[in-house]
Amino acid sequence: MGNNTRQAWLEAMGITVWERRDRPAVAPGPISPPAVCDWERLMEEVESCTRCPLHAGRTRTVFGVGPRTARWLFVGEAPGAEEDKQGEPFVGRAGRLLDAMLQALGLARQEVFIANVLKCRPPGNRDPEPSEVASCLPFLRTQIAAVRPRILVALGRFAAQSLLSTEQPLGRLRGRVHEYDGVPVVVTYHPAYLLRRPADKAAAWADLKQARGIVHHE
């Protein structure tokens, strides 16, 4: 990526200063990808799921996208209206901001795995119900176990609380490195929140740099 392109993405994130530093080349670890039939069966289970009432109002399920051996795995809350239409997480304005966050890290969307806690859209984009999270979370846990990422980035309170099995507020979860099944977890703001509160983009950038440091020093 050229300097001008990276600077443009950083400006989209609200960051005006980019400190360049050499990044060590990282060779892929000895990852054993899951059997295709197992992964495809999981996709079929998500697509046909009726575990909670959300299935009745969905247009499409949103399984998640990205390489099955991705080093980075980003977890959001639930699909919105556009995601429900397209069947892909983080599209629309929030998705474009997430792309900017990735580009600022020197990553392309195609390099990371992106999923949500819920695979179906709650009506009116309301907060997920505890019973809905309980019904859907096993799908996400299976995805994480299959991908075996080097870092998990929880985008927003619901993603963080669901992954970490806690009720602590986002403010207390940010700034610390957590762990999920042996995988480091960094908590930051959801892109939709940052669209409403752009002043917090700098804090989100600090979170992302923390995650990047973990990946590069593993």
CATH number at residue 148: 3.40.470.10
Q: Do the domain assignments include residue 15?
A: no
Which of the 8 DSSP states describes residue 183?
E
Q: Do the domain assignments include residue 113?
A: yes
* pTM of the model as a whole: 0.84
Range of the domain at 156: 35-216
Number of domains making up the chain: 1
- Using one digit for the tens of pLDDT, what is the confidence trace for 92-145? 899 999 999 999 999 999 999 999 999 999 998 898 999 999 999 999 999 999
Write the DSSP string, 23-86. ----PPP---PPPHHHHHHHHHHHHT--SSGGGGG-SS----BS-TT-SEEEEES---HHHHHH
Categorize the per-residue pLDDT at 4 as very low, low, confident or very high, splitting at 50, 70 and 90.
low
Q: Do the domain assignments include residue 110?
A: yes
